[in-house]
Amino acid sequence: MATKVLTFPGAHGNELSGRLETPADGRALGYALFAHCFTCGKNLKAVVNVSRSLTASGLAVLRFDFTGLGDSEGDFANTTFSSNVADLLAAAGYLESEFEAPQLLVGHSLGGAAVLHAAKSLPSVRAVVTLAAPSAPDHVLRLLSDSIDDIERDGSARVEVGGRAFRIKRDFLEDLDRTRMTEAAVGLKRPLLIMHSPVDEIVGIENAQELYLQAKHPKSFISLDRADHLLSDKADSEYAGAVIGAWVKRYLDVRPEPALEDLAEQDRVVVRTGLEHYPTDVIASGHAMLLDEPTAVGGQDLGPSPYEALGAALGGCTGITLRMYADRKEWPLEEVIVRIRHDRIHARDRDEEGRMDHLQREIELAGPLTDEQRERLLEIAGRCPVHRTLDAGVKVSTALRVD
């Protein structure tokens, strides 16, 4: 898994902080957008665990802090449920412009209500998942019940939620009162997965029942048996993520890509580079490896660079050649370590730019060898087949192949 730290403009211009996690090979089946619960954040353990389970299933997932929460800019007191939905749309727009439009929306608690409302404005979304989502704003109002009169009278009040103090304005209550969450489920027109615990004491299981009854098919329900509202047990949140990852693959618009093994040819090394920057699959004689470029040049650093692979070829050939020679001579060579460094040196007579590639090789030999044996092995290293090929120069011919 690779993680990118991102910032992007929210709906009202504040910079929002996010984390984009992608599969280890850099190839995602699709992109998902995660909306966290009321006053929570992108680093809530349940959010992280669900997201990473989805990434393990092959999805790229963006989780972010809404305006005024976590590492995002802005004043939480100026936000509403509608502004959270607007931030979700801004995050989706950012994903589309910089990576790929989201195909999956996942929302926890009030974030579940938010994704139901956001989906209608996002044609790329092919499926929606709610975790412990309310069918009405009652649970939020219960959290604020001791302060509602103060908010109504004074226009705002400081409220403690989850051990932290937040300022809530009258606008928030009025906007929440206008929200019709079941209507969003009715008009979703997307596959919906509802996940809820029957022992949730914050948002009761009846909320899941109401959403399920209102939603149209295809719809599914999964019980998060024994889980609490925040999915604080790691096993519960990882289970939820794994189930979502399996369920959503039925609905994703995945471009078919032949398995790397299907591209293998007996007399060729086959290399495939896709759309992502720049993970590259290699298969040779049934053996697979991954190449990439460092992050400094726009890659994801998921594997060695092509030049490092070239160094590995020289180093590997050197070690194998010395092993073969020492075995044939019955010399006590115990181990060969080869270190390769690639750089470029001045050489006006070699190319127009006045520089040539230089592979600097250091060889370490372990074992009770004599000085004469070590000198002979150093000489033999220069005779390894890859060394000879590089020394002689290589002719490369290229042709377009059309199948």
What CATH number is attached to the domain comprising 185? 3.40.50.1820
Q: What SS3 state is found at 403?
A: coil
One domain for residues 273 and 358: yes
One domain for residues 234 and 295: no
Pick the last residue of a domain from 194, 218, 248. 248
For 107, residues 6+ apart whose C-beta sits below 8 A from its C-beta are 34, 35, 113, 114, 115, 116, 128, 129, 130, 131, 133
Give the model's confidence band at 253: pLDDT under 50 very low, under 70 low, under 90 confident, else very high: confident
Bridge pairing between strands 127-131 and 104-108: parallel
301 in a structural domain: yes
400 in a structural domain: no
Give the model's confidence band at 336: pLDDT under 50 very low, under 70 low, under 90 confident, else very high: very high
Span 346-364, average pLDDT: 75
401 in a structural domain: no
Average pLDDT, the chain: 90
Query: Over 90: is that where the pLDDT of 38 sits?
Result: no
One domain for residues 207 and 312: no
Query: Over 60: is that where the pLDDT of 352 sits?
Result: no
Burial class (CB in 10 A: 0-12, 13-18, 19+), 215: buried
Q: Which of 7-11, 164-168, 258-262, 399-403 has the highest mean pLDDT?
A: 7-11
| Ramachandran class of 343: left when φ > 0, alpha when ψ lies in -120 to 50, beta otherwise | beta
Residue 197: phi and psi, rounded to 5, are -95, 135
One domain for residues 7 and 106: yes
One domain for residues 280 and 149: no
pLDDT of residue 347: 59
- Residue 42: CA atoms inside 13 Å, Cβ hemisphere, count? 25
381 in a structural domain: yes
One domain for residues 234 and 372: no
For 331, residues 6+ apart whose C-beta sits below 8 A from its C-beta are 367, 369, 373, 377
Pick the last residue of a domain from 248, 272, 306. 248
Radius of gyration of the chain (CA): 29
One domain for residues 14 and 117: yes
Domain tally, the chain: 2
Query: Over 70: is that where the pLDDT of 332 sits?
Result: yes
Q: Is the pLDDT higher at 222 or at 159?
A: 222
pLDDT of residue 341: 95
Contact yes or no for 39/162 (Cβ under 8 A): yes
Distance CA 210, CA 183 (A): 11
Q: What SS3 state is found at 83?
A: helix
Count of CB atoms situated within 10 Å of the CB of 296: 7
Give the model's confidence band at 163: pLDDT under 50 very low, under 70 low, under 90 confident, else very high: low
Burial class (CB in 10 A: 0-12, 13-18, 19+), 327: exposed
DSSP code of residue 277: S
142-161 residue pLDDT tens: 777 778 888 888 888 888 76
pLDDT of residue 256: 59
One domain for residues 234 and 136: yes
Give the model's confidence band at 169: pLDDT under 50 very low, under 70 low, under 90 confident, else very high: confident
One domain for residues 95 and 210: yes
One domain for residues 231 and 337: no
pLDDT of residue 368: 97
255 in a structural domain: no
One domain for residues 241 and 133: yes
319 in a structural domain: yes
pLDDT of residue 227: 96
pLDDT of residue 257: 61
399 in a structural domain: no
Give the model's confidence band at 8: pLDDT under 50 very low, under 70 low, under 90 confident, else very high: very high
Span 337-364, average pLDDT: 80
Residue 349 is part of a domain; what is its CATH number? 3.30.300.20
DSSP code of residue 265: B
pLDDT of residue 157: 83
189-212 residue pLDDT tens: 999 999 999 999 989 999 999 999
398 in a structural domain: no
One domain for residues 9 and 103: yes
Domain that holds residue 231: 2-248
Pick the last residue of a domain from 248, 273, 306. 248
- Residue 163: CA atoms inside 13 Å, Cβ hemisphere, count? 0
